[in-house]
Amino acid sequence: MPCTPIRVNCEDTAPPLPYLAWAFVEAVHHAIRSCPQAKQFYDRRAAKRNGALATKALAAKWTKAAYYMMKRQEAFDLKRVFG
């Protein structure tokens, strides 16, 4: 049975954190305006699907980057995010 915010006892995954997701989407909107690599990634994804999915895909990239930054205790490296 999938996890929902209402169901607390989840064995597979934790329930989603809507405020954290919102914060990463806001960071993506800023990154699209200020980071050429992020804009290029967003444009490629938006051309294939639509803008909302491109935003979510870029937010997922930023989320993974933040996770590994905290896990490894290292500084942000844009080259590692966009390969």
| In the chain, where the domains are located | 18-82
What are 25-79's pLDDT values in tens digits?
A: 999 999 999 999 999 999 999 999 999 999 999 999 999 999 999 999 999 898 9
Question: What is the pTM for the complete model shown?
Answer: 0.76
CA angle 59, 43, 18 (to 5 degrees): 20
Answer yes or no: are the C-beta atoms of 3 and 13 closer than 8 Å.
yes
Close Cβ partners of 64 (under 8 Å, ≥ 6 residues apart): none
Answer yes or no: are the C-beta atoms of 45 and 57 closer than 8 Å.
yes
